[in-house]
Amino acid sequence: MFQFNNGQGGRGIWKPRLWLALAGLAAALIATAPARAEWPERPIDLIVPFPAGSSPDLLARIVSEPLSKALGQPIIVQNKPGAGGNIGTRLAAEAKPDGYTVLFTINGPLTTAPTLYRKTLGYDPFNDLAPVTLVATSPNVLVVPRDLGIKTVEQFVKLAKERPGALNYGSVGPGSASQLAMEMFKGQAGLDIAHIPYPGFPQVISAIISGDIQSSFMVPAIAMPQARNGKATVLAVTSLQRAETLPDIPTMAEQGYPGFEAISWDAILVPAGTPSTVIERLNSELARIISSDKVRQQMAVQYFTPAPSSPEQLTDRMRDEKARWDAVIKKLNLSLD
């Protein structure tokens, strides 16, 4: 028998069977308590704010398959194009921060859109989104229709100056990197070329081929197949040095525009407030996936270089690039509000 003080100077007695009853009650309470679910326990939506077939869409699908296997849940790619990626990015920023909405986007909606759309953007990438990792980087290329019959940037500039206001260029939307690269080029070369926005680069290259537009800065994954089959001409790359994947194409800097740089990059983010454990798991799995030989080879086909990072490194990159493009936007007096 067990004794206890009953608070009145006397002693009481605990029967062994009473202990057993209490132990049984505790076990029952534990068994019926709701179990804490481990993330993820259902499919995850991967928002890509560009159309199917676009460069971000292709890269998103490259990483989504191995990520699905790693997490044990389907990754459902949701294409939400429009406004240079701003519409889909806003949808992700407004989503519930429960780990079941992930954003795969490019630099434009994260770094230049906040300055170009000060009043109407509808989200703040630095406060409404939480960085997970940088995915990959790539130079852009300056593309023109083959029928223009030009081979160099100098020839293109000469043609544009001979026909002021008559040429058009395409981009993936106002405020996108493709638009800003051309506006920077226009400012440096003193060109008068009209802007025509499209939902994505597949539509831009189609317009190049048809002759509806006469130029565009775009990712090489979309441009190079058409250049190889003779339907378009690539004049330059926008990296400061020649790209490893495109060693025969000269840079803008080599052709009279020193310091000209406009790099495309893709990144993964989640709605602000997403649990840190989710972000850490995503970062860890993606770092392994992006660094794998298989994914590296798949990205090389798209002319992208894998570049996994920490969330902090992605934040620093966003801030540095925003500051750089803010200076360009201010100099060109651009606003899309």
Quick check: bond before 40 cis, omega within 30?
A: yes
CA 300 from chain centre, in angstroms, equals 17
Q: Are residues 153 and 251 in the same domain?
A: yes
Q: Are residues 121 and 163 in the same domain?
A: no
> How many domains is the chain built from?
2
Boundary residue ending a domain (215, 239, 255): 255
Q: Are residues 52 and 192 in the same domain?
A: no
Place of tokens 């620093």: 316
Cα–Cα distance measured from residue 86 to residue 115, given in angstroms and rounded to the nearest whole number? 13
Extract the tokens encoding 271.
């709605």
CA 168 from chain centre, in angstroms, equals 27
Q: Are residues 123 and 196 in the same domain?
A: no
Cα–Cα distance measured from residue 271 to residue 278, given in angstroms and rounded to the nearest whole number? 11
Boundary residue ending a domain (228, 255, 282): 255
**Residues 46 and 78: beta-carbon distance below 8 Å:** yes
Boundary residue ending a domain (214, 232, 255): 255
Q: Are residues 112 and 248 in the same domain?
A: no
Classify residue 35: in a domain, yes or no: no
Classify residue 20: in a domain, yes or no: no
CATH number of the domain enclosing 104: 3.40.190.150
Classify residue 337: in a domain, yes or no: no
Burial letters for 104-114: b for 16+ Cβ neighbours within 10 Å, e otherwise?
Answer: bbbbbbbbbbb
Q: Given this model, what pLDDT does residue 25 score?
A: 52
Note down the domain range covering 145.
141-255
Classify residue 11: in a domain, yes or no: no
Q: Are residues 131 and 267 in the same domain?
A: yes
CA-CA-CA-CA torsion for 142, 89, 82, 43, nearest 10 degrees?
Answer: 110
**DSSP code of residue 83:** G
Cα–Cα distance measured from residue 77 to residue 217, given in angstroms and rounded to the nearest whole number? 26
Q: Are residues 131 and 168 in the same domain?
A: no
Q: Are residues 125 and 269 in the same domain?
A: yes
Q: Given this model, what pLDDT does residue 177 score?
A: 81
Q: Given this model, what pLDDT does residue 4 score?
A: 44
Burial letters for 60-74: b for 16+ Cβ neighbours within 10 Å, e otherwise?
Answer: bbbbbebbbebbebe
Low-confidence residues of the chain: pLDDT under 70: 1-37
**Residues 336 and 175: beta-carbon distance below 8 Å:** yes
Q: Given this model, what pLDDT does residue 251 score?
A: 97
Closest CA to 217 of 325, 321, 144, 140: 140
Classify residue 113: in a domain, yes or no: yes
Extract the tokens encoding 311.
């969330």
Classify residue 108: in a domain, yes or no: yes
What are the residues whose beta carbons fall under 8 Å from the beta carbon of 304, sequence distance 6 or more?
55, 59, 136, 137, 138, 221, 266
Cα–Cα distance measured from residue 289 to residue 1, given in angstroms and rounded to the nearest whole number? 62
Q: Are residues 102 and 175 in the same domain?
A: no
Q: Given this model, what pLDDT does residue 336 score?
A: 82
Q: Are residues 240 and 313 in the same domain?
A: no
185-227 pLDDT, tens digit per residue, is 999 999 999 999 998 888 999 999 999 999 999 989 889 999 9
Helix axes 177-189, 311-332, angle to 10 degrees: 40
Extract the tokens encoding 44.
């995850």
pTM of the model: 0.77
Q: Are residues 84 and 132 in the same domain?
A: yes
Q: Given this model, what pLDDT does residue 180 score?
A: 87
Extract the tokens encoding 299.
């990205």
Classify residue 161: in a domain, yes or no: yes
Q: Given this model, what pLDDT does residue 31 score?
A: 47
Extract the tokens encoding 48.
């890509």
Q: Are residues 106 and 145 in the same domain?
A: no
CATH number of the domain enclosing 247: 3.40.190.10
Pairing label, strands 75-79, 194-197: unpaired
Classify residue 63: in a domain, yes or no: yes
7-25 pLDDT, tens digit per residue, is 444 444 445 555 455 555 5
Extract the tokens encoding 128.
């409404």
